Structure 1
Amino acid sequence: MQRVLVSIFLGLLAASGPQVLRAQEGGAEAAVRRAAEQKIAARRPESAGHLEVRVRRVRGAIDSTARLRLELPDRGAMTGGLTRARVRAQAPTGDWEDAGWATLRVTRYDSVLTTRSRIKQGAPVKPEDVERTWMRVSDLHGEPLRASAFRAQRKKGALVADRYLRPERVLRARDVRPPYAVDPGTDTDMYYRRGRVRFRLSCTVRETGFVEDVVRVYCPGTRKTYQARVRTAEAVTWVKTL
């Protein structure tokens, strides 16, 4: 995720060419930070309140009273959440001269859902089980589950935990899912239709699946395993004999 965030940041700075500003109070580090924040606010207003830019290091004789310009190196030099920007200062002659380098880190914050208490795998996840928290998500592995996405999914039906969720855990999009229509061991009726041949077999499901998924089922009456498409929690249709 950090690579994505920094790529967005680089694009914001590079989109309209070098950033020029006069250093104000706080020295060169503050001027570099303001340049990045101004560019984010101008080019990506919706991200301005979510991205925090920190100047980790400044190298070189940077005059904090001079006009400064940031130039970015080749993106291939970027690693993790850090990137380096070349700093140029405007000389009295009007020419731009190398003044040094600044190392920047971009951190993303977002409003995410966290669990109030532990939730077992397969247990329902209801609105009262989660709460919204504003926190750093740059180091989060996977896309965070936002409140809007959670509400949209619940409108389609109930949600359950796809894995054990400990208390105060940041929910990711893949942590919740709709309940499976069938589970291993579920008894189901498999309907076979091919031309004029039609019949029904009592089978047992061998794997989990949602409606419209193709799962394996076993029929004790024929001692054969089939692939079948899930239609409901009680019925599947024949796809293939294994």
Structure 2
Amino acid sequence: MGDKASIIVVEDDHRMGSALQRNLIKAGYQVTLSDSSQSLRLAYRKTAADLVLLDLNLGNEDGIDIARELVATTSVAVIIITGRMELEDRIEGLDAGADDYIVKPFATDELLARIRAVLRRRALERAPAGMIELGPFRLDTTNQSLSREGVSTPALTLTGTEARILGILLRQHNRAVSRERLSNRGPQDPGDRSIDVHVGNIRRKLREAGFDELVIGPIRGFGYRLRLEGKDAVPSQADLS
């Protein structure tokens, strides 16, 4: 995330968007304004932002559909801004995969507190952990090994880089993760395929170990998504919406 988290504000009201931008910059964030799903996609490709503030009322576009697209195709955090007071609307936003929501009118201090809370939760997801579990699988990040419960075969041994990448994919299962996030080095040169090589090695080791339930699929032009298939499959929040 770096010293300054990057935020994209999606708001088609220029006055509201500019006010949010000023307040967020004053609070120490890097901020990009967007007024549509198309400009949001372009902004995300350029910035690989940490968080999107998404207003649900965007003219002819449905903010809930945009939230679902972000959750399905990126690993960015999403806070919905809504003027809709009905509980059902807020629940729909959370079921779409948003991390949080805030109802207009709101105080700047409350918005900043919610942003800090969401970014803290995301940082904890990325923090090293001794054991990461998904279904019957256990990734020991200390020993850099992957095992499956109920199987007597030796654990799969990984390199440090492979264990870190697999740990991120396991934590974010069913969600797309960008190459930049997997590289842990920020924006990459388009010709740098090192992450693809590491992921290729992980996939090969999974096949050789017989861990076919863990499927890592490519997201063209973006990164990768890990799925747990078979009887132990764990549904994502988007699958339940």
TM-score by structure 2 length? 0.23
Instruction: Judging by fraction of residues, say which structure has more helix.
Output: 2
Where relative contact order (Cα < 8 A, 6+ residues apart) is larger, the structure is 2
Q: Which structure's residues are more often strand, by fraction? A: 1
Q: Which has the larger radius of gyration?
A: 1
